């Protein structure tokens, strides 16, 4: 089955943007719930959501105060923030619009509907009143689109590049979610141990991993175990390990995959060598930084190997 | 009968569904009766269902406005246009004949030029036209087919007779909307299909595939076919994607393709270069190959003309086909049919006066108030003049223009375009329409059953273009209704 480099590129980004929209919605959803649970005065600020996405410069150009309204508008509906949920959905739709010929009709119809929904509701869902419903809808519709692709797509190159995009984005977002929990969130002076389990539970919830955690590890939510679980539980579909294994599986049947596998194996090795229980928060944060940098390298290698049109 | 039909008046025009006495035509009777029996709320609900389907299916066209590309929903009228299969088979025969003659003409012009040496057409008309591409001389594509996909615009005059208004031989568009219109009608007015046997249209992509596959330079079970699009900002991008998907072909942009040192065309895939056999191109000649035509074109593929001339790739429509898509050449199509096929034209053309001929010119100048005057060459810059609607001053101006440069003007009588009931502002009213069938020529020639009906939504208007407020209708070719 032949696949144009340009089309592979767009499918890969379609999947990345859909995953980013869903993950941002998950993060925002669980964080909103978390804030409602934490006693007044002890709650972490809203700026953390912007920090997780490394979006302070863009935010700074858009708004001054990191209050709930500004941050949520930035994440949900901001047209200048290309990682806002509405812009991710727009970009995903644009990529599907230009690859309709290789996707089942229903994928286009559902992505298009999601876009129409987001256009109508994103701006109106910044406030708490509609926010929950909107985020649920975005998450649910993204899941439906993913499920649709999993159950209809032929297991060929199209499927492979979609999986690669989704898994790479998810691995990246999962490390960012951990980073929230890891002290970047709570300065030492604001540290309330009674609040900690709530935060880590919210991390698990945003990854749909609470139930599995309870069954696998136990009902007590404890920082080292959560970090280890989310990083290294191979059976958990949103764990970093799961994503890396999945990327490897999709890379293997591709031609010219040597360089990409090399970079990927670097990530896999560093993950297996890292031990959360013996690390400080600073070390965890530094590890995540380095890990994300390697994922970015992997993205560039994928781009150069399979998407670049310059070489013949 | 619901109220919205009460004041329907066909006026002096031929109406596709309603007789001058106000009764439905036999072929349309069941459809009209059913539509008239629907409650007004029901009509509104059906129209809304159609609009929703169009939005959900993402049927759109792109227009460029205020510096932005806007993706507009496709304008669609829910009342279908109905034509009997008897009427249609005559039209269809005429279209096949016409397209065969046009292909003979293009092949002749780029090779022996017999029609010119035999004095049937003046040579300078053809060879000095901007549509004549000297780069194509000496080429003889398979089956003598140059214009593989032709979209001819037809209108019906007062007496219901079909006329060809023009032949689009370069990159005619609209066929995807013909298919989607049927799809929408099936969704929103399913009961209309009971008691009718309507010729299906949805095998167009497979017919197109067979036509293109028959052109492949390599004998292969599944030749590699690509649809070459200028990209997402082209107004017909939706159609390009639609057809690529329908044929299981790759939708490519210029940057996806390259010509290698072996003069073969390749596309860049994730597994490496793959050779292409047939290009269904949806970009104009001028942008096709910066080596052969416009150097500044970023849309095309450098060297693709070389690959075509070497016979390593087929291009549809063949470069240079536009030579037969020209207002002056149009006037000679009936002569071409007689010359190449030794047949009488089965489908009427609109009488065309060439101002370069003294006799025609005298007639045009004496009858400016009755004629439409058009510049033969688009770049003329003065636009056209519709005689009956023009002021005295405009007519005087055109008389001067014609006398100064008679070669550059043609004139045609004004036709009364037919109408059909159209649902507008909760009322059913007559609106003017045309019809664009598509003719495929490869190893065989084939005509779509029906075509794309475009309708001018503004009262009295004759402008059917979707970019200027035109809409469209599903078009049915039906066996005699039971």
**Read out DSSP for chain A?**
---BHHHHHHHHHHHHHHHHHHHHHHHHHHHHHHHHHSPTTT---THHHHHHTT-HHHHHHH-SS--HHHHHHHHHT-SS-TTSHHHHHHHHHHHHHTTGGGS-HHHHHHHHHHHHHHHHHTGGGSSHHHHHHHHHHHHHHHHHHHHHHHHHS-TTHHHHHHHHHHHHHHHHHHHHHHHIIIIISS-GGG--TTTHHHHHHHHHHHTT-HHHHHHHT-S---HHHHHHHHHH-TTSTTSHHHHHHHHHHHHTTSTT-HHHHHHHHHHHHHHHH--GGG--HHHHHHHHHHHHHHHHHHHHHHIIIII-SS--
Q: Does A255 touch chain B (CB under 8 A)?
A: yes
Q: Which residues of A touch B209 (CB under 8 A)?
A: none
Question: CATH number of B218-312: 3.40.50.12780, 3.50.50.60, 3.40.50.300, 3.40.50.11290?
Answer: 3.40.50.11290
Shortest Cα distance from A68 to chain B (angstroms)?
A: 33
Q: Answer yes or no: same fold for B218-312 and B351-413.
A: no
- Six-digit token pair at A54? 């490394």
Facing residue for A109 by CB, picked from B58, B270, B271? B58
The pLDDT value recorded for residue A184 is 46
Res A170 pLDDT > 80: yes
Backbone angles phi and psi of B15, in degrees to 5:
-105, 135
Is the residue at A226 inside a domain?
A: yes
Which residue do the tokens 């052969």 mark? B292
Task: Please calculate the CA angle B281-B284-B289 and round it to the nearest 5 degrees.
Answer: 80
Between the two ends of chain B, the Cα-to-Cα distance in Å is 22
Is residue B453 within 8 A of residue B175, CB to CB? The reply is no
Q: Which residues of A touch B250 (CB under 8 A)?
A: 2, 4, 7, 101
Tally of CA atoms within 13 A in the half-sphere of A17 that contains its CB = 25
Is the residue at A130 inside a domain?
A: yes
Q: Which residues of A touch B57 (CB under 8 A)?
A: 109
Our count of domains for chain A comes to: 1
Partner-chain contact A101 B250, CB within 8 Å? yes
Facing residue for A101 by CB, picked from B251, B258, B271? B251
Residue range A276-282: average pLDDT?
Answer: 81
What is d(CA B250, CA A89) in angstroms, rounded to the nearest whole number? Answer: 25
- Six-digit token pair at B127? 């060879």
Is the residue at A68 inside a domain?
A: yes
Is residue B155 within 8 A of residue B172, CB to CB? The reply is no
Partner-chain contact A4 B268, CB within 8 Å? yes
Q: Chain-centre distance of CA B211, in angstroms?
A: 18
Q: CB under 8 Å to B391, separation ≥6 — which residues?
A: none
What is d(CA B348, CA B412) in angstroms, rounded to the nearest whole number? Answer: 13
Residue range A262-276: average pLDDT?
Answer: 93
Res A310 pLDDT > 70: no
The pLDDT value recorded for residue B374 is 87
Q: Does A6 touch chain B (CB under 8 A)?
A: yes
Shortest Cα distance from B264 to chain A (angstroms)?
A: 13
Res A203 pLDDT > 90: no
The pLDDT value recorded for residue A194 is 67
Tell me the average confidence (pLDDT) per consecutive run of 10 residues in chain B, 482 residues long. 82 93 92 92 92 81 64 86 95 97 97 96 88 93 96 93 93 91 93 89 95 94 94 85 91 94 95 95 93 85 95 96 90 96 96 91 92 73 76 90 88 91 92 96 94 91 75 91 50
Helices (H), B231-284: 237-247
- Six-digit token pair at B385? 């003049």
Domain span at A72: 5-307
Q: Chain-centre distance of CA B213, in angstroms?
A: 22
Residue range A85-102: average pLDDT?
Answer: 91
Nearest Cα neighbor of A34 from A184, A176, A201, A238 is A201
Shortest Cα distance from B440 to chain A (angstroms)?
A: 22
What is d(CA A6, CA B255) in angstroms, rounded to the nearest whole number? Answer: 9
Locate the chain A residue with the closest alpha carbon to B259: A312
What is d(CA B57, CA B181) in angstroms, rounded to the nearest whole number? Answer: 11
The pLDDT value recorded for residue B377 is 65
What is d(CA A3, CA A102) in angstroms, rounded to the nearest whole number? Answer: 9
The pLDDT value recorded for residue B423 is 93
The pLDDT value recorded for residue B467 is 67
| Chains A–B, number of C-beta pairs less than 8 Å apart | 69
- β-strand partners of B151: B168, B438
Shortest Cα distance from A158 to chain B (angstroms)?
A: 10
Facing residue for A2 by CB, picked from B245, B251, B274? B274
What is d(CA A118, CA B433) in angstroms, rounded to the nearest whole number? Answer: 37
What is d(CA B169, CA B336) in angstroms, rounded to the nearest whole number? Answer: 16
Q: Which residues of A touch B251 (CB under 8 A)?
A: 7, 101
Which of B69, B208, B248, B268 is best to mutate for the A interface (most A CBs within 10 A)? B268
The pLDDT value recorded for residue B380 is 40
> Residue B476: is it exposed, middle or buried by C-beta count within 10 angstroms (0-12/13-18/19+)?
buried
Backbone angles phi and psi of B275, in degrees to 5:
-70, 140
What is d(CA B267, CA B274) in angstroms, rounded to the nearest whole number? Answer: 5
Q: Chain-centre distance of CA B405, in angstroms?
A: 30
Cα radius of gyration (chain B): 23
Partner-chain contact A4 B255, CB within 8 Å? no
Q: Give domain limits for chain B.
A: 218-312, 351-413
Partner-chain contact A312 B260, CB within 8 Å? yes
What is d(CA B286, CA A306) in angstroms, rounded to the nearest whole number? Answer: 31
Res A231 pLDDT > 60: yes
The pLDDT value recorded for residue A276 is 82
Partner-chain contact A254 B56, CB within 8 Å? no
Q: Which residues of A touch B242 (CB under 8 A)?
A: 100
Res A37 pLDDT > 80: no
Is the residue at A312 inside a domain?
A: no
Fold of the CATH domain B351-413: Dna Ligase; domain 1 (3.30.1490)
Partner-chain contact A4 B58, CB within 8 Å? no
| pLDDT tens string A178-202 | 887 765 455 544 455 667 788 888 8
Is residue B208 within 8 A of residue B440, CB to CB? The reply is yes
Q: Does A309 touch chain B (CB under 8 A)?
A: yes
Q: Which residues of A touch B253 (CB under 8 A)?
A: 6
The pLDDT value recorded for residue B477 is 96
Higher-pLDDT residue of B472, A100: B472
The pLDDT value recorded for residue B118 is 96
Res A36 pLDDT > 50: yes
């Amino acid at each position: 089955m032949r696949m144009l480099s340009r089309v592979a590129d767009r499918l890969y980004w379609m999947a990345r943007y859909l995953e980013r929209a869903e993950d941002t919605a998950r993060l925002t959803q669980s964080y909103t719930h978390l804030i409602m649970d934490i006693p007044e005065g002890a709650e972490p600020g809203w700026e953390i959501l912007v920090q997780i996405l490394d979006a302070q410069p863009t935010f700074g150009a858009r708004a001054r105060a990191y209050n709930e309204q500004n941050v949520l508008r930035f994440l949900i509906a901001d047209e200048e923030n290309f990682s806002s949920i509405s812009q991710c959905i727009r970009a995903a739709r644009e990529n599907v619009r230009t690859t309709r010929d290789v996707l089942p009709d229903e994928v286009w119809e559902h992505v298009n509907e999601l876009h129409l929904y987001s256009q109508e509701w994103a701006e109106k869902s910044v406030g708490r009143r509609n926010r929950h419903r909107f985020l649920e809808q975005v998450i649910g519709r993204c899941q439906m689109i993913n499920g649709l692709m999993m159950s209809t797509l032929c297991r060929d190159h199209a499927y492979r590049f979609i999986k690669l995009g989704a898994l790479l984005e998810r691995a990246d977002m999962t490390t960012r979610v951990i980073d929230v929990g890891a002290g970047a969130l709570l300065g030492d002076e604001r540290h309330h141990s009674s609040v900690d389990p709530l935060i880590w539970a919210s991390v698990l919830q945003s990854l749909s991993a609470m139930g599995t955690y309870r069954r696998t590890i136990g009902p007590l939510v404890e920082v080292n175990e959560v970090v280890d679980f989310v990083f290294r539980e191979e059976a958990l579909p949103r764990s970093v390990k799961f994503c890396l294994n999945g990327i490897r599986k999709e890379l293997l049947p591709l031609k010219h995959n040597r360089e990409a596998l090399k970079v990927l194996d670097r990530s896999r090795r560093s993950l297996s060598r890292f031990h959360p229980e013996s690390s400080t928060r600073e070390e965890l944060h530094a590890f995540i930084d380095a890990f994300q940098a390697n994922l970015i390298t992997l993205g560039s290698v994928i781009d150069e190997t399979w998407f670049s049109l310059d070489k013949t | 009968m619901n109220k919205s039909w009460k004041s329907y008046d066909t006026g002096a025009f031929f109406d596709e569904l309603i007789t001058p006495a106000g009764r439905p035509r036999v072929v349309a009777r069941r459809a009209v009766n059913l539509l008239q029996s629907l409650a007004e709320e029901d009509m509104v609900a059906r129209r809304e269902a159609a609009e929703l389907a169009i939005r959900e299916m993402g049927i759109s066209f792109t227009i460029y406005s205020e510096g932005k590309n806007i993706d507009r929903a496709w304008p669609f009228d829910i009342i279908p246009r109905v034509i009997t299969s008897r009427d249609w088979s005559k039209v269809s025969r005429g279209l096949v004949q016409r397209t065969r003659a046009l292909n003979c003409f293009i092949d002749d012009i780029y090779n022996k030029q017999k029609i010119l040496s035999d004095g049937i057409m003046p040579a300078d008309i053809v060879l000095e036209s901007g549509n004549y591409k000297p780069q194509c001389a000496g080429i003889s594509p398979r089956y003598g087919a140059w214009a593989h996909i032709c979209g001819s615009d037809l209108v019906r005059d007062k007496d219901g007779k079909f006329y060809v208004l023009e032949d689009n031989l370069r990159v005619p568009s609209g066929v995807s909307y013909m298919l989607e219109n049927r799809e929408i009608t099936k969704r929103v007015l399913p009961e209309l299909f009971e008691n009718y046997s309507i010729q299906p249209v949805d095998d167009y992509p497979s017919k197109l595939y067979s036509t293109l596959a028959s052109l492949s330079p390599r004998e292969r079970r599944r030749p590699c076919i690509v649809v070459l699009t200028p990209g997402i900002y082209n107004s017909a991008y939706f159609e390009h994607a639609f057809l690529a998907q329908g044929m299981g072909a790759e939708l490519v942009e210029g940057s996806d393709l390259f010509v290698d040192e072996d003069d073969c065309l390749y596309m860049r895939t994730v597994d490496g270069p793959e050779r292409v056999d047939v290009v269904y191109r949806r970009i104009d000649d001028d942008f096709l190959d910066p080596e052969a035509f416009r150097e500044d074109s970023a849309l095309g593929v450098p060297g693709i003309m070389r690959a075509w001339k070497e016979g390593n790739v087929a291009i549809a429509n063949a470069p240079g086909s536009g030579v037969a898509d020209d207002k002056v050449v149009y006037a000679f199509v009936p002569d071409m049919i007689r010359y190449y096929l030794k047949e009488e034209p089965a489908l009427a053309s609109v009488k065309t006066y060439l101002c370069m001929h003294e006799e025609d010119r005298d007639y045009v100048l004496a009858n400016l108030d009755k004629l439409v005057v058009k510049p033969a060459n688009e770049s003329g810059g003065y636009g056209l003049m519709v005689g009956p609607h023009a002021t005295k001053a405009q007519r005087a101006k055109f008389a001067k223009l014609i006398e100064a440069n008679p070669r550059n003007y043609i004139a045609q009588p004004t036709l009364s375009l037919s109408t059909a009931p159209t649902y507008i502002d909760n009322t059913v009213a007559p609106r003017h329409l045309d019809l664009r069938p598509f003719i495929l020529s490869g190893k065989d020639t084939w005509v779509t059953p029906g075509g794309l009906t475009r309708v001018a939504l503004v009262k009295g208007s004759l402008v059917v273009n979707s970019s200027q407020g035109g809409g469209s209708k599903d078009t049915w070719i039906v066996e005699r209704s039971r």
